[in-house]
Each structure stands twice: as structure tokens, then as C-alpha cells.
């Protein structure tokens, strides 16, 4: 917020307000208050550095890739962590590369200069003196300031801190399901990165046992005031961002933001009827996550919107005489009757046996494609019947079965021989046994003597 409480009648001084709230003089005038003069904290002259190579990214890298590369290298070479001799220089070099590539305008001009097209670098803190003399890069921020502002959201970082799970929430998650799961609907568990309240400081952004204090730079007003040649300039406090409170001891986990990236395992319901490649939106904490559905193809079904097509094989006999077959479906199998004389590739429709319409009413149909299965091997009896059928179709006479030979008549000699063989040899013995048995019975008093 800008308030001017004075009026300068001198035409020699024209001031303009820069993007960061500083009052800049024009036409060579100098500021009386040296507090707002920019300090060049690091500079690069001569041949331009390859910022893409420094961050380890391609020249076509997206903004998110630039941030990820900077975060990785800044943490690696931060002087408080890395004890190598050149850690400070590497940290500064990485910060320099990030400051240029994270700003769209600076990156555009830097790319133009690298390709030999030149550009107006002077307006962005660069000084181009021609390709033979090189160029000069000057920054008003220290490497540590860039690092701090990255986490606090002052330089494209956002209002949350990174973590071991990354520096940003999941934007899109791929979910693979089967054909049947897509048709019926299914509950799935997925892991996503989401922005949530910092568990360490419980969202207040302060270290344990600490709290925010009144900002010493604006006395809690949220604004800073400066006077310049009769002008009074009010601008948002650069330290508390207008909140009036200053976080002197920020939480080390969330960098004082009160929020951080956490990895969550959540359950999501994939509705029936979803198709391959469709996107579903789900709210996870304070993040919006898009689910990219990938449906694995079925071995027996083919999908056409809400309808499905199923191939079913039948035997040659069922095709000719008719019969019943079992058709696999989405919810359950269905037994259908095959009419006699069914030809191959005939299509039968089962109403309401398809897929539910997503965000609609009703269900599609199932189309059964009949295929006649021709046997590759035949038994001898099957071959004879098929050959007989073939002759009948051609109008030929059916093949007559071979005549059976009449049984031969037995001769008289053979008959006599057979009778001799059939005559019992023990007949006299049986008669003798009968007389002896009657004699024994007589002795025992069981038989009358006249019977002898």
C-alpha cells in the first residue's frame, strides 16, 4: 500500500516504485536514504555460465524441474551441511542459476543471449556489452536469501515446505485396474504426496516452545514508512509480510510455513463404468490430486462405450442341431440357447448385460459373437460319419456295409463227436452212489426194504 503525503514541485526528481516496494530515483538522482540502495551480493562477469548444466537439467526443463534441481543441490551444498572447501561457491553458483531460470523473463533473455540473439539484460540486473566483451550478471540477493525465500514462498517456493517426499504435492497419480474392476467399480489404496499441517509444530510455524513476536521492523503495524524529500512512502513490511508478527524461531521441519509435504496412503473408490485414460479428481488434505485411470485389456471381452463384445466357441454338432452354452459376463455367467443351424460369427444380444453408464442411467448390452470350433483330430467312427454325411450332401449312394458270412452246417460226424464229448463220464458212478445211499438209509430205518 502506497501513501504519498507530500508534493515535490521540483521537476528534476522523478521517482518510480519498483516491484519490491523500493523507491527508485530517475534521471540520475540519488536516494537520500541509503537503506533502500541495492547491494550487489554476488556477480558474474565475462563468459555466461551454463545454468542448465549447473542444475543438471535440460534447456527444455519445466519450472517444476528447475525447482526440484535447485532444492536438491542447495541442500547438498549448503554451508551448514556440506563441509567441502568449495561448498560455499557451489551453493552460490546453484542459487545464481536458480534465480535466473526460475524467472520467466530472465530465463527468456538468458536463452536469447546464449543463442546469440542478445537481449535487454540491463533492465533485469544484467549488463550486455556485446558478444566479444561478454556480459555481466548482478544480483541484489544473497544465496542464503534465495534459499530462505524459496521455502517461505517469497521467490516462487509456495506457502509450504518440502520434505523427504519431495517439494511439491502430487498432481497426477496413475492407477491401474483390470477390465472387470472398471466395469464393476473398485476400492483402491494409493500413495500420494499432499500438503498438510506440519506435525512437528502443529501448524504454527514456530520451533517447539517458541511463538511469534511483534515484528521489530514495523512495530506490529505490518507497514514500514520512509521519508524522502517531502515524500512519505508506506509499504508492506518486508520481514513480516504485513502480518505484524515476526517468526524469530521458525520450525526447522516446515521452515516456518506451518505446512509441509507428507506422503499419505488413501482409499479411493473407482466408480463403475470408468474407461481407460479417464481422469478422476480427488481432494487429499489441501491438495487436489488427479487419478489417471489405466485399464488393462480383457482376454475375453472387448469394450465399445457401455457395450461389451464377447467371443464364444460352440461345437459343430451344436451349430447344426442347436444346444446350450455358458457365456461369461461382467456380474455373472449366462446360459443361452443356440438355435439349430447357427452359422459362425452370428451375433446374439444380451440386453442389460454390459457396463454401467458413468454419470448416467442404465447399463449397456453384451453382444455374443458365435464361433464354430472345428475339431483337428477325429476318431475312426467320427470320420466314417462325416464321410457318410459328405456322400449324402453330394447325392452319392451311401456306402453299403460288408455282408456277414453264414455259419457253416455241422456234419453228422461232428454231431456225434460233440455228443460223445457232452456224454457224462461219471453216470455209472452216480447210479452206484444211488444204490449205496438207499442201502444206508435202510439200515438207518429211513427207507422201506421194498425200495431196494
Domain ranges of the chain: 15-159, 187-295, 301-373
The answer to whether the Cα torsion of 65, 66, 69, 74 is positive or negative is: negative
Residue 368: CB atoms within 10 Å: 22
Task: Look at residue 165 and tell me whether its pLDDT is greater than 70.
Answer: no
Q: What is the pLDDT of residue 450?
A: 45
Q: Which CATH class is domain 301-373?
A: mainly beta
Spell out a b/e string for 80-92, using b for 16 or more CB atoms within 10 Å of the CB, else e.
eeeeeeebeebbb
Mean pLDDT, residues 291-318: 85
Rounded distance, CA 256 to CA 213, Å?
Answer: 13
* Share of residues in the chain with pLDDT > 70 (%): 62
CATH fold of the domain at 187-295: Chaperone, DNAj Protein; Chain A (2.10.230)
We find that the CATH architecture of domain 15-159 is Orthogonal Bundle (1.10)
Task: Look at residue 420 and tell me whether its pLDDT is greater than 80.
Answer: no
Q: What is the pLDDT of residue 452?
A: 41
Indicate the pLDDT class of residue 403, thresholds 50, 70 and 90: low
Instruction: Judge contact between 369 and 312, C-beta under 8 A.
Output: yes
Task: Look at residue 24 and tell me whether its pLDDT is greater than 70.
Answer: no
Indicate the pLDDT class of residue 152, thresholds 50, 70 and 90: very low
Task: Look at residue 9 and tell me whether its pLDDT is greater than 50.
Answer: no
Which pTM value belongs to this model?
0.41
Spell out a b/e string for 13-22, using b for 16 or more CB atoms within 10 Å of the CB, else e.
bebeeeeebb
Task: Look at residue 303 and tell me whether its pLDDT is greater than 80.
Answer: yes
Indicate the pLDDT class of residue 103, thresholds 50, 70 and 90: confident
Mean pLDDT, residues 233-256: 78
- Where is pLDDT greater, at 391 or 436? 391
Q: What is the pLDDT of residue 451?
A: 43
Q: What is the mean pLDDT of the chain?
A: 69
Please list the alpha-helical segments (H only) found in 309-374: 316-321
Q: What is the pLDDT of residue 283?
A: 77
Task: Look at residue 322 and tell me whether its pLDDT is greater than 70.
Answer: yes
Q: Which cell is 149 given?
A: 525465500
Read off φ and ψ for residue 449, nearest 5 degrees. -65, -25
Q: What is the pLDDT of residue 228?
A: 58
Q: What is the pLDDT of residue 216?
A: 80
Q: What is the pLDDT of residue 6?
A: 34
Rounded distance, CA 359 to CA 339, Å?
Answer: 37
Report strand pairing: 323-327 vs 334-338.
antiparallel
Instruction: Judge contact between 327 and 335, C-beta under 8 A.
Output: yes
Task: Look at residue 286 and tell me whether its pLDDT is greater than 70.
Answer: no
206-214, Cβ contacts within 8 angstroms, sequence gap of 24 or more = 206/247, 206/249, 206/250, 206/251, 206/256, 207/249, 207/250, 207/251, 207/252, 210/248, 210/249, 212/245, 212/246, 212/247, 212/248, 213/245, 213/246, 213/248, 214/244, 214/245, 214/246
The mean-pLDDT minimum among 232-241, 315-324, 421-430 falls in 421-430
Mean pLDDT, residues 288-305: 84
Task: Look at residue 345 and tell me whether its pLDDT is greater than 50.
Answer: yes
Amino acid at each position: 500500500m502506497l501513501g504519498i503525503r507530500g508534493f515535490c514541485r521540483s521537476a528534476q526528481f522523478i521517482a518510480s516504485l519498483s516491484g519490491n516496494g523500493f523507491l527508485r530515483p530517475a534521471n540520475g538522482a540519488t536516494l537520500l536514504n541509503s537503506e533502500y540502495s541495492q547491494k550487489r551480493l554476488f556477480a558474474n562477469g565475462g563468459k555466461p555460465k551454463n545454468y542448465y548444466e549447473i542444475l543438471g537439467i535440460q534447456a527444455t526443463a519445466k519450472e517444476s524441474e528447475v525447482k526440484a534441481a535447485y532444492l536438491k543441490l542447495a541442500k547438498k551444498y549448503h554451508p551448514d551441511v556440506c563441509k567441502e572447501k568449495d561448498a560455499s561457491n557451489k551453493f552460490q553458483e546453484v542459487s545464481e542459476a536458480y534465480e535466473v531460470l526460475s524467472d520467466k523473463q530472465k530465463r527468456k533473455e538468458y536463452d536469447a543471449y546464449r543463442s546469440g540473439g542478445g537481449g535487454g539484460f540491463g533492465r533485469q540486473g544484467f549488463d550486455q556489452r556485446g558478444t566479444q566483451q561478454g556480459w555481466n550478471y548482478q544480483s541484489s540477493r544473497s544465496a542464503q536469501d534465495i534459499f530462505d525465500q524459496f521455502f517461505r514462498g517469497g521467490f516462487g517456493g509456495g506457502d509450504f515446505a518440502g520434505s523427504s517426499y519431495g517439494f511439491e504435492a502430487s498432481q497426477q497419480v496413475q492407477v491401474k485396474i483390470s477390465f472387470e474392476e472398471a466395469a464393476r467399480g473398485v476400492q483402491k489404496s494409493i500413495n500420494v504426496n499432499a500438503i498438510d499441517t506440519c506435525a512437528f509444530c502443529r501448524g504454527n510455524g514456530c520451533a517447539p516452545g517458541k511463538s511469534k513476536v511483534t515484528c521489530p521492523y514495523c512495530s506490529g503495524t505490518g507497514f514500514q514508512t520512509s521519508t524522502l524529500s517531502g515524500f512519505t512512502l508506506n509499504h508492506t513490511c518486508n520481514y513480516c509480510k504485513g502480518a505484524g508478527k515476526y517468526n524469530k524461531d521458525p520450525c526447522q521441519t516446515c521452515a516456518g510455513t506451518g505446512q509441509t509435504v507428507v506422503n499419505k496412503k488413501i482409499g479411493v473408490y473407482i466408480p463403475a463404468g470408468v474407461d481407460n485414460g479417464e481422469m478422476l479428481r480427488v481432494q487429499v488434505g489441501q491438495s487436489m490430486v488427479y487419478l489417471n485411470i489405466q485399464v488393462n485389456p480383457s482376454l475375453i471381452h472387448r469394450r465399445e462405450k457401455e457395450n461389451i463384445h464377447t467371443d464364444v466357441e460352440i461345437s459343430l454338432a451344436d451349430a447344426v442341431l442347436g444346444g446350450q452354452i455358458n457365456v461369461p459376463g461382467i456380474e455373472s455367467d449366462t446360459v443361452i440357447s443356440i438355435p439349430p443351424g447357427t452359422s459362425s460369427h452370428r451375433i446374439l444380444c444380451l440386453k442389460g448385460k454390459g457396463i454401467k453408464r458413468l454419470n448416467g442411467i442404465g447399463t449397456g448390452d453384451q453382444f455374443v459373437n458365435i464361433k464354430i470350433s472345428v475339431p483337428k483330430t477325429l476318431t475312426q467312427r467320427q470320420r466314417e460319419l462325416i464321410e457318410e454325411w459328405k456322400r449324402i450332401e453330394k447325392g452319392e449312394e451311401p456306402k453299403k456295409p460288408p455282408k456277414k458270412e453264414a455259419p457253416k452246417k455241422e456234419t453228422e460226424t461232428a454231431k456225434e463227436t460233440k455228443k460223445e464229448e457232452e456224454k457224462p463220464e461219471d453216470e455209472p458212478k452216480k447210479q452206484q452212489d444211488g444204490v449205496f445211499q438207499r442201502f444206508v438209509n435202510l439200515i438207518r430205518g429211513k427207507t422201506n426194504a421194498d425200495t431196494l
